Amino acid sequence: MPEFFRSRAGRQCLTIMALGAVLWISATLLDVDSWLVSFMSTFENYGADKFVLALGIAGAMSFIYSVLRIADLRKEMQLRDSAQARADWTATHDHLTKLPNRYAFERKILPKPADKDGNLPEEAKSNVTIFSVDLDGFKKVNDLVGHKGGDVLLVEVAKRICALGNADCVYRFGGDEFIIIALGMTAAREEWFAKVLIQAVTRPILIDGFAVEVGASVGYDRWSEGAEPLEDAAHRADLAMYEAKSRGPNHQLIFETSMQDKVTERASLETKLRGAIQNKAIKTYYQPLIDLRSGRLCGFEALARWTDEDGMNIPPPIFIGIAEETGMITELFENLLTQACSDALAWPDDVRLSFNVSPVQMEDKLLPSRIFKVLAASRLPARRLEVEITENALVQDPAIAAHILDELHKAGVQIALDDFGTGYSSLAQLARYRFDKIKIDKSFIATCREDEKQEKIVRAMLALGRSLNIKTTAEGVEEHAQLAYLLQLGCDIGQGYLFGKAMPAAEAGIFIESQNTNLASTA
Ligand code: C2E
Ligand code: CA
Ligand code: CA
């Protein structure tokens, strides 16, 4: 109500009422009624009594009108207030979990923990810690139980986080990321709370009869009260969370300055990589693949090499990883494949080009047509190309992967399963897709002669290849003894420093010329 009287309409109504009251009081004080009676009897003949009566009725009507108008305006203001409150809520909350969102976080004003609880340990009194929680494997849940099931999971996770403490200090920043503001925690308590968060989130959740599990990565850091916006601390908590995530699911980490350095370094590397791809500064090198029975060269694996402007060699797993994350992989792949196909044209007809396809490319339905376009432009026959894919590449989207492999096979391109034994589900993949070759990962070859278990695994892989009629390549052959051993076990192809490291195209030409060396005699 006082709100109403502060509005313009309210002030108008008040003025009318005040005027009425002033008139009324003045009339009473000045004895206006007796004066009116004598006035009307004096001027009776002129109809003054009727005039005064009309004036009285008009006054009463205005008063009633004012009262009704006040009631209307009050109602209108109430409606406006509730609409405003609804709009405010919508702007500051997430509709699914009903938690406040990033915008609400930015507007948050924190109470002083020491004001609320004087019993806090001295060192924790003014501590404000921001925790960032991100789910691991949420996409797989969506795939398994659909988006509605995914929503159920997010609501349950929100409830569990809120149940751990101050529910009004839990925020959903979109997707599967949550932020928690915790007050008055010691360092030990922060670590403990991060672990409790992980435990709470990772307990199975029942959705449509499925017991669904997700992982959680947690990062956290203190807010420098008064010295920075709260978002800065949330950003550092995020960086710590990403670092925790990179160590596998269910890790928690406190922020360290090296994490910020890593991000800055990565951003600069990304810019350099963009330039290197545009300028075609990344080159393909070729590592020989040797037929172990004949000792002859049967192919080259193309491996990307990048020396940046400062002369630094950037390892392929680093720049390929950045290219994958930033979507530059397609352009890089097309550049490198074009280079490699044109180099391979100069090789003998029976020397095949092996080319790595990264897991993210196996989600691209257009991959076969991209490859065919490069093959057609370079005039390299499809049968001379072999693509190497890892097991992990088949897990992302098995239907698209099957389509890609089918198209490539139909065109005559060979498919090799790379890094066999290190990925997700080796045997299931072998049964489901048709492979022409299995490449046994170099980690098995390196240890198989000293480690009995590894040796048994290598034997089993070779036997599996034979029984499925798929050729086997041993990666990372570095010693003559390894070669002799692999020959004895019946491995088909060898690759490794013993035969040659990855070399530029010109050196590959020289290698071809000298390839008549009988490798069997070196064994
Ligand atoms: P990969 O496909 O398993 O390639 C074999 C890696 O093992 C190469 O490392 C090669 O230099 C190394 N290697 C070969 N023989 C030996 C050996 O005897 N001993 C040891 N210790 N290592 C050996 P590189 O070139 O550093 O490549 C690493 C990974 O980067 C590759 O693993 C591949 O996954 C990826 N990569 C390289 N080039 C490309 C590319 O053009 N496209 C894609 N998508 N990935 C690539
Ligand atoms: Ca490979
Ligand atoms: Ca490999």
Q: 68-91: per-residue pLDDT in tens?
A: 888 888 899 999 999 998 999 999
User: What band does 3 get if pLDDT is binned at 50, 70 and 90?
Assistant: low
Per-residue model confidence (pLDDT) at position 459: 92
User: What band does 38 get if pLDDT is binned at 50, 70 and 90?
Assistant: confident
Per-residue model confidence (pLDDT) at position 55: 80
Nearest to 302 by CA among 503, 487, 450: 503
Per-residue model confidence (pLDDT) at position 120: 56
Nearest to 202 by CA among 239, 160, 162: 160
Ligand 1 near 343 CB (within 6 A): no
Per-residue model confidence (pLDDT) at position 10: 67
Alpha-carbon distance of 322 to 30, in angstroms, equals 93
| Bridge partner list, 180 | 131, 170
Per-residue model confidence (pLDDT) at position 496: 98
The pLDDT tens digits of the residues spanning 404-458 come to 999 999 999 999 999 998 876 557 777 778 899 999 999 999 988 788 888 899 9
Alpha-carbon distance of 422 to 488, in angstroms, equals 24
Q: What is the largest CA-CA distance in the chain?
A: 147
Domain spanning 265-522: which CATH class is it, in words? alpha beta
In this predicted model, which residue has the larger pLDDT, 316 or 39?
Answer: 316
Ligand 1 near 356 CB (within 6 A): yes
Express as a percent the part of the chain with pLDDT over 70: 89
Burial 380-415 (b: 16+ CB within 10 A, else e): bebebbbbbbbbbbbbebeeebeebbebbbeeebbb
Pocket test for ligand 1, best of 356, 386, 440, 495 (most atoms within 8 A of CB): 356
Q: Which region among 13-22, 246-255, 381-390, 501-510 has the lowest average model confidence (pLDDT)?
A: 13-22
Per-residue model confidence (pLDDT) at position 520: 46
Per-residue model confidence (pLDDT) at position 523: 46
Q: Which bound ligand lies closest to the C-alpha atom of 498? A: 1
> Measured in angstroms, how far is the CA atom of residue 516 from the centroid of ligand 1?
25
Those residues whose C-beta lies under 8 Å from the C-beta of residue 13, and which sit 6 or more positions away, are: 66, 69, 70, 73
User: What band does 390 get if pLDDT is binned at 50, 70 and 90?
Assistant: very high
Closest residue by CA, ligand 1 atom 26? 316
CATH number of 102-111+122-255: 3.30.70.270
The secondary structure of 432-473, three-state, reads HCCCCEEEECHHHHHHCCCCHHHHHHHHHHHHHHHHCCCEEE
Express as a percent the part of the chain with pLDDT over 90: 66
Residue 515: phi and psi, rounded to 5, are -75, 0
User: What band does 391 get if pLDDT is binned at 50, 70 and 90?
Assistant: confident
CB atoms within 10 A of CB 368: 20
What's the chain's average pLDDT?
89
pTM for the complete prediction?
0.73
In this predicted model, which residue has the larger pLDDT, 60 or 357?
Answer: 357
The pLDDT tens digits of the residues spanning 448-488 come to 878 888 889 999 999 999 999 999 999 999 999 999 999 99
In this predicted model, which residue has the larger pLDDT, 28 or 219?
Answer: 219
| Bridge partner list, 93 | 100
pLDDT of 124 strictly over 80: no
Ligand 1 near 502 CB (within 6 A): yes
Side-chain-side CA neighbours of 143 within 13 Å: the count stands at 10
Ligand 1 near 102 CB (within 6 A): no
- Length of the chain equals 523
Closest residue by CA, ligand 1 atom 11? 502
> Measured in angstroms, how far is the CA atom of residue 384 from the centroid of ligand 2?
16
